[in-house]
């Protein structure tokens, strides 16, 4: 027998009122992934609200959460929710009028400038979402009174010794700060720290950059960042894609000097030959006084997979962050503390921008057969032909000098 159908309720709960804002946003560089499957574009739903929430949460931690110490997690729950506290923030995405289009990854050579940062997509043959796609972003927040009622309900389910403050500070300012920093310094999809999925807000909005002084908003957001958060920019405007490519080219030429700067030589290759005992017949043994052991480029992000296709060294060795994760397994990744991207200053032009996040301290790397290899230190600045000369032995400092960008003051 089926269960009895209950009577229809005579009263209904009024929807919680929300105050919101909407933004028209455009991609100014191709987007990597963004769909439910990692690295794959979903043409039916290319921009997901859950992905934007994740980006906003990340940038909130950098802008506001960093200063709260142990209180960061409680405040983060008040804004973005948890299993016992629903988020008061609603993120909605509405597709633009034009259908999303794929940018075929087969059109990008692995040796090209774009291929330097898009190698994961090239290896997996995953197409990108082309630049120019537009969407509408809506963000709304419940009223302050309803926010306090949610806190009261949360405390009723907690022990007296675990009660939280009965009042929640307004969260509108936190959302605005996270939104501005995400749009300016971040992006959507994967590989955003290398400029993929960069954004431009258009039409009338307080986030528009089409003003007489586009740097005013940049400086305003920068003032809310941690003191060790720095921004550097080139002194010329370029079309969006060209500005992006110039950023990539800059990093490529620094990390792989090759014929472009033949006198600069990093120590990683010789370090790996010493560790493994494998070297090509044409590769002489270089003393440590001439080329010290270490992996200074690891400061720019890990892992690094080293390739010696000409047989001059041990091909396929990988540098990983030193240490163990919460499951007592080897750490596999350290996100790059530098962001390279075009920051739009008009409908068609951007400025090459370098953002330096908080740098890791005391970083060491592990490679097969050796642990605790150094990453920074004065020895990397003092050997002949060092790319890190005139620094404290930091690849990040050397890259800033190499870019010749101007720092944006707060």
H/E stretch holding 350 reads strand 349-356
Q: Name, in order, each residue with C-beta under 8 angstroms of 396's C-beta and a sequence gap of 6 or more.
A: 299, 300, 337, 338, 356, 359
Please give the average per-residue pLDDT across 193-222, as a whole number: 73
**Is pLDDT of 182 > 80?**
yes
Where would I find the beta strands (DSSP E) of 161-218?
A: 199-202
**Is pLDDT of 232 > 90?**
yes
> In degrees, to the nearest 5, what angle opens at C-alpha 109 toward C-alphas 107 and 114?
95
- Of 343, 338, 337, 113, give the one whose Cα is nearest residue 233: 343
Q: How confident is the model at residue 368 (pLDDT cuts 50, 70, 90)?
A: confident
What is the DSSP pairing of strand 18-27 with strand 89-95? unpaired
**Is pLDDT of 12 > 50?**
no
Residues facing residue 90 across a β-bridge: 140
- Of 323, 127, 352, 123, give the one whose Cα is nearest residue 237: 352
Least confident of 94-98, 193-197, 358-362, 400-404: 358-362
pLDDT for 43? 94
Task: Put the strands of the sheet holding 18-27 in their side by side order.
Answer: 89-95, 134-142, 18-27, 199-202
pLDDT for 228? 86
pLDDT for 19? 67
pLDDT for 14? 47
pLDDT for 203? 73
Q: How confident is the model at residue 18 (pLDDT cuts 50, 70, 90)?
A: low
**Is pLDDT of 211 > 90?**
no
Q: How confident is the model at residue 89 (pLDDT cuts 50, 70, 90)?
A: very high
pLDDT for 1? 52
Every domain of the chain and the residues it spans: 18-208, 251-407
pLDDT for 8? 60
d(CA 77, CA 82): 6
Is 343 exposed, middle or buried, given 0-12, 13-18 or 19+ CB atoms closer than 10 A?
buried
**Is pLDDT of 212 > 60?**
no
- Of 367, 343, 363, give the one whose Cα is nearest residue 354: 343
275 in Cβ contact with 370 (< 8 Å): yes
pTM of the model: 0.90
Q: How confident is the model at residue 259 (pLDDT cuts 50, 70, 90)?
A: low
Residues facing residue 356 across a β-bridge: 230, 338
Is 77 exposed, middle or buried, given 0-12, 13-18 or 19+ CB atoms closer than 10 A?
middle
pLDDT for 76? 96
Q: DSSP secondary-structure letter at 194?
A: G
pLDDT for 218? 79
Q: Name, in order, each residue with C-beta under 8 angstroms of 192's C-beta and a sequence gap of 6 or more.
A: 55, 186, 198, 339, 341
Least confident of 197-206, 352-361, 383-392: 197-206
**% residues pLDDT > 90 (the chain):** 72
**Is pLDDT of 169 > 80?**
yes
pLDDT for 389? 94
pLDDT for 137? 95
């Amino acid at each position: 027998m089926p269960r009895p159908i209950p009577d229809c309720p005579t009263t209904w709960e009024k929807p919680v009122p929300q105050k919101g804002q909407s933004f028209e946003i455009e991609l100014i560089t191709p987007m990597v992934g963004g769909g439910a499957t990692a690295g794959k574009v979903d043409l039916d739903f290319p921009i997901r609200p859950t992905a934007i929430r994740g980006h906003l949460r990340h940038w909130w931690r950098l802008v506001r959460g960093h200063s709260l110490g142990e209180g960061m997690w409680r405040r983060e729950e008040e804004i973005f929710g948890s299993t016992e506290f629903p988020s008061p923030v609603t993120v909605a995405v509405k597709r633009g009028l034009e259908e999303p289009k794929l940018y075929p990854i087969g059109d990008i050579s692995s040796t090209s400038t774009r291929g330097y940062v898009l190698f994961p997509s090239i290896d997996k043959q995953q197409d990108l979402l082309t630049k120019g796609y537009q969407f509408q972003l809506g963000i709304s927040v419940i009223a302050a009174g309803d926010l306090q009622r949610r806190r009261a309900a949360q405390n009723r389910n907690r022990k007296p010794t675990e009660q939280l403050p009965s009042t929640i500070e307004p969260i509108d300012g936190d959302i605005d700060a996270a939104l501005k920093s995400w749009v300016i310094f971040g992006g959507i999809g994967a590989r955003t720290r290398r400029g993929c999925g960069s954004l431009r807000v258009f039409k009338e909005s307080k986030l528009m950059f089409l003003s007489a002084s586009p740097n005013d908003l940049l400086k305003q957001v920068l003032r809310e960042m941690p003191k060790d958060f720095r921004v550097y920019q080139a002194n010329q405007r370029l079309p969006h894609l060209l500005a992006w490519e110039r950023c990539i080219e800059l990093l490529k030429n620094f990390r792989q000097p090759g014929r472009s700067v033949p006198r600069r030589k990093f120590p990683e290759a010789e370090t790996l030959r010493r560790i493994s005992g494998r070297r090509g017949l044409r590769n002489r043994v270089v003393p440590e006084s001439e080329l010290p052991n270490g992996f200074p480029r690891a400061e720019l992000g890990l892992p690094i997979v080293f390739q010696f296709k000409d047989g001059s060294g041990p091909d396929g060795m990988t540098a990983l962050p030193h240490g163990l994760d919460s499951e007592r397994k080897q750490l596999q990744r350290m996100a790059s503390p530098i962001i390279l991207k075009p920051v739009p200053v008009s409908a068609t032009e951007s400025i090459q921008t370098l953002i330096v996040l908080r740098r890791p301290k005391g970083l060491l790397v592990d490679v097969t057969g050796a642990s605790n290899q150094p990453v920074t230190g004065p020895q990397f600045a003092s050997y002949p032909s060092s790319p890190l000369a005139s620094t404290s032995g930091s690849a990040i400092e050397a890259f800033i000098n190499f870019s010749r960008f101007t720092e944006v003051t707060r």
